[in-house]
Amino acid sequence: MKKVRIGGGAGYAGDRIDPAIELIKHGNLDYVIFECLAERTIGLAKQEMLKDSSKGYSRLLEYRMSQVLKIAKEKHVKIISNMGAVNPKGAVAKIMEIAKEQGLSGIKFAYVSGDDVYDRVEEHYEDDIFEFSGKVKDYKERIVSANAYIGAAGIIEALRNGADVIITGRVSDPTLTVAPLCYEYGWNIEENPVEMGQCVLAGHLIECGGQVTGGYYADPGYKSVEHLENLGFPIVEFDESGHFTISKVEGTGGLVSVDTCKEQMLYEIHNPNAYMTPDAIADFSQVKFTQVDTNVVSAWGATSHGLPPTLKVNVCYKDSFITDCEISYGGRNALERAKLSGEIFLKRIDLLGIDYTERRVDYIGYNSLYGDKIGRALAGDGIGEVRLHVAVRTNDRENAVRVSNEGDAIYTNGPTGGGGATMKISEIINVFSYFIETSDIQVKVDYEVI
CA distance linking residue 404 with residue 423, whole number of Å: 6
Q: Are 156 and 78 in contact (CB under 8 A)?
A: no
Among the listed ranges 117-125, 140-148, 156-164, 283-291, the one in contact with other proteins (CB under 8 A) is 283-291
Instruction: Please tell me whether residue 26 binds other proteins under the rule CB under 8 A.
Output: no
Smallest gap, in angstroms, from Cβ of residue 418 to other proteins?
18
Q: Which residues of 329-338 are buried (b: 16+ CB within 10 A; e: fewer)?
A: bbeeebbebb
Instruction: Please tell me whether residue 206 binds other proteins under the rule CB under 8 A.
Output: no
**Beta-bridge partner residues of 318:** 429
How distant is the alpha carbon of residue 316 from its chain centre?
A: 15
Among the listed ranges 48-56, 164-172, 192-200, 370-378, the one in contact with other proteins (CB under 8 A) is 370-378
Instruction: Please tell me whether residue 35 binds other proteins under the rule CB under 8 A.
Output: no
Q: Which of 304, 320, 399, 404 binds other proteins (CB under 8 A)?
A: 320
Instruction: Please tell me whether residue 402 binds other proteins under the rule CB under 8 A.
Output: no
Residue 375 CB partners (closer than 8 Å, separation 6+): 363, 366, 367, 368, 369
Instruction: Count the neighbouring beta carbons within 10 Å of the beta carbon of residue 153.
Output: 19
Q: Taking CB under 8 A as the criterion, which residues in 337-366 touch other proteins?
A: 358-360, 362, 364
Give 12 or 447: the residue with its C-beta nearer to other proteins.
12
Instruction: Please tell me whether residue 424 binds other proteins under the rule CB under 8 A.
Output: no
Among the listed ranges 87-95, 174-182, 287-295, 439-447, the one in contact with other proteins (CB under 8 A) is 287-295
The closest alpha carbon to 184, from 141, 127, 240, belongs to 240
Instruction: Please tell me whether residue 369 binds other proteins under the rule CB under 8 A.
Output: yes
Instruction: Please tell me whether residue 435 binds other proteins under the rule CB under 8 A.
Output: no
Smallest gap, in angstroms, from Cβ of residue 285 to other proteins?
6
Name the helix (H) or strand (E) containing 338: helix 334-352
Instruction: Please tell me whether residue 287 binds other proteins under the rule CB under 8 A.
Output: yes
Give 60 or 431: the residue with its C-beta nearer to other proteins.
431
Instruction: Please tell me whether residue 322 binds other proteins under the rule CB under 8 A.
Output: yes
Q: Are 55 and 102 in contact (CB under 8 A)?
A: no
The closest alpha carbon to 67, from 110, 24, 7, belongs to 24
Q: Which of 419, 428, 444, 449 binds other proteins (CB under 8 A)?
A: 428
Q: Taking CB under 8 A as the criterion, which residues in 66-85 touch other proteins?
A: none
Smallest gap, in angstroms, from Cβ of residue 61 to other proteins?
22
Smallest gap, in angstroms, from Cβ of residue 336 to other proteins?
20
Q: Which of 118, 267, 435, 447 binds other proteins (CB under 8 A)?
A: 267
Q: What totals of helices (H) and strands (E) does the chain contain, helices first?
A: 11, 18
Smallest gap, in angstroms, from Cβ of residue 299 to other proteins?
10
Helix/strand/coil for 10? coil
The DSSP output letter for 212 is: G
Instruction: Please tell me whether residue 271 binds other proteins under the rule CB under 8 A.
Output: yes
Smallest gap, in angstroms, from Cβ of residue 246 to other proteins?
14
- DSSP structure string for 63-132: HHHHHHHHHHHHTT-EEEE-TTTT-HHHHHHHHHHHHHHTT--S-EEEEEE--B-GGGGGGGTTSBPSSS
Q: Taking CB under 8 A as the criterion, which residues in 230-259 touch other proteins?
A: 259
Among the listed ranges 58-66, 77-85, 187-195, 374-382, the one in contact with other proteins (CB under 8 A) is 374-382
CA-CA-CA-CA dihedral for 249, 252, 258, 259, to nearest 10? -150
The DSSP output letter for 47 is: H
Residue 270 CB partners (closer than 8 Å, separation 6+): none
Contact residues: other proteins, CB under 8 A: 39-40, 131-132, 216, 219, 222-223, 259, 262-273, 284-289, 301, 319-320, 322, 358-360, 362, 364, 368-374, 377-378, 389, 391-393, 428-431
